[in-house]
Amino acid sequence: MQERVYIEPKQINKDLMKGLTETPLWYWIAVGCLSLVFLTAAISFGYMMNKGLGLTGLNRPVFWGFFITNFVFWVGISHAGVMISAILRLTGAEWRRPVTRAAEVLTIFSLLTAALMPLIHTGRPWRIIYWFLPYDFSRGIWPDPRSPLVWDPAAIFTYLTGSILFVYVALIPDLAVARDRSTGWRFILYSILSLGFRGNPRQWKLQAVAGILLSALILPVFVSVHSIVSWDFAVNIGVEGWHSTIFAPYFVIGAVHSGVSAVVTMMALMRWLWGWDKYIRPEHFDGLGRLLIVVACTWFYFFIIEFFFGMFSQESPELALRHLQMFEWPYNMLFIIFLLTGFFIPVPLWLFKKVRRNIALMFWTSILVNIGMWIERFLIIVPSLQRKQPFTFVWGSYQPTIIEILIILGTFSMVGLGLLAFSKLFPLIPIFDIKEGQILHEDIQIGRVKVPGVIKD
């Protein structure tokens, strides 16, 4: 599993700071394309704000559609950071080292994107101040702390704050490296951000302790965020298919599934675009693949339970909903696509070591997973709302419009632009972590075989 490639520390600095020092052509092309998509989305949003929510497909009874699906999707992607960084750090998985920062940064940008979605969804986002600020604007309307919709921003911003702290603490040694190798405005920026880090034993100890503490403390936040988002649906007694106690762990594990898959996508792109073959190796994809098998199977278990318990009591409104989800157009097609892409194609492939170590296959299967998981959220939200009312004459349908599609695409471009901007200022692979991994590695001779080992204190 562990393919050791010893690299000189100076070479590590040079390789991993490539993003800060060089700007290849592909970078400008990527920024250009993503900016174009983002601009189109921004114009669509502006147009929607001007003309109203009627430009979207939202209508009675389906008042939550693409925007809320996308909100849940991006909150899900944000779970990658803590899963990989905190949990693998606490369990001492050595293969996590090149993966952690990219995962944590993906968390931050996906959370920011997720937080935008409800604002976009309101249609008139400035009115949100009446809803969340605890101030009576002479309207008699106060925030309702009993509502999960109020718990959502609290959880998301707590997680965002924790994640930013987490990234920052881990970034300090690398900022010091960047400071010592830069001039001009970069020198000033890195000097401020590195907080005078000089690498003495006391500073290293503090940095390590802070990292471990943050890893442990962010775990309950990580679990609570998507649980609270799930309770937006689950505590509702009026919508068929939502009132299920399994929603919290089901959403959390689904989030980990899509988040870790997104990290696989990112790692493959980083390896190909930045040429980091020596740092992002097949063994890392092997480790991520094994993790994904466990996560995907757990997710599938929760999915099956949720589905069966939906039918447990044999109540006709619930059966009508399941019939709509599985057998009526277009949800039947989406249901099949979601199952195939979310589980039945990637997981059997991941069982093979050759596939796990094939970066191209891991890249494409991870993308398939996220397509499936986006559709899964859509299938939870929209069909249930279509069948929300007890009387069939108020059953409706939902057709997304081009405005919604453009805004959704804009969110993907936003995350991409954020990651590209980050890579220009900060190294995407933690320099100190890679060096530490090399130092802590030691081979053990057992008979005629050399077994890779790790130094533990």
Partner 1 sequence: MWFVDGWKMGWPPGAPHTWDMLGLLGLALTGIALLYVSSLPDFAVMRDHSTGFRHKLYSRLASNFHGSKKQWFFIQNRVGVLGAFYFMMLIFTHYLISVDFSMSLVPGWKDAIYPAFHALQGLQCAVAMTLLGMFLLRQFGGLKNYIGLDQFWGPAKLLLASSLLWFYFWWSGFIVYWYGRTPAEQDVLSFIMFESYKTPFFIAFVLCFVVPLTMLIWNRIRKSILGPTLIGLSVLIGTFFHRISVYVSAFSTKDVSAHSLGGVPPAILPNIGDVLMIIGTIAGAAAMYLIASKIFPTVSIWEVKENLLYRRESTFKRVKVLILGKPE
- Binding stretches for partner 1 (CB under 8 A): 1-2, 94, 220, 223, 227, 231, 234-237, 243-249, 301-302, 305-306, 308-314, 442, 444, 446, 451-457
Nearest approach, Cβ of 241 to partner 1 (angstroms)?
11
Residue 302 or 331 with smaller CB distance to partner 1: 302
Output Rg (C-alpha) for the chain, integer angstroms: 23
Nearest approach, Cβ of 289 to partner 1 (angstroms)?
14
Nearest approach, Cβ of 316 to partner 1 (angstroms)?
13
- Tokens 């960047």 correspond to 178
Beta partners for residue 443, in sequence order: 452
Residue 51 or 353 with smaller CB distance to partner 1: 353
Report the SS3 class of residue 313: coil
Nearest approach, Cβ of 389 to partner 1 (angstroms)?
17
Residue 278 or 290 with smaller CB distance to partner 1: 290
Residue 183 or 314 with smaller CB distance to partner 1: 314
Residue 246 or 409 with smaller CB distance to partner 1: 246
Among 73, 93, 74, CA closest to 83 = 93
- Tokens 């604007």 correspond to 137
Residue 412, CA distances (Å) to 118, 286, 407 in order: 16, 26, 9
Contact 325, 318 (CB under 8 A): no
**Residue 180: partners with Cβ closer than 8 Å, 6 or more residues away:** none
Residue 192 or 294 with smaller CB distance to partner 1: 294
Residue 48 or 248 with smaller CB distance to partner 1: 248
Nearest approach, Cβ of 256 to partner 1 (angstroms)?
14
Give 156-179 as a 3 state SS string: HHHHHHHHHHHHHHHHHHHHHHHH
- How would you class 168 by CB atoms within 10 Å of its CB: exposed for 0-12, middle for 13-18, buried for 19 or more? middle
Residue 139 or 456 with smaller CB distance to partner 1: 456
CA pair distance 138, 251, nearest whole angstrom: 38
Nearest approach, Cβ of 311 to partner 1 (angstroms)?
7
**Residue 79: partners with Cβ closer than 8 Å, 6 or more residues away:** 107, 222, 225, 226, 252, 255, 256, 258, 259
Residue 130 or 307 with smaller CB distance to partner 1: 307
Beta partners for residue 442, in sequence order: 453
CA pair distance 279, 235, nearest whole angstrom: 45
| H-type alpha helices, 180-281 | 184-193, 201-234, 247-274
Nearest approach, Cβ of 151 to partner 1 (angstroms)?
11
Compute the half-sphere exposure of residue 208: CA atoms within 13 Å on the CB side of its CA: 10
Nearest approach, Cβ of 353 to partner 1 (angstroms)?
10
Nearest approach, Cβ of 23 to partner 1 (angstroms)?
39
CA pair distance 288, 146, nearest whole angstrom: 39
Two tokens, residue 163 = 């994640």
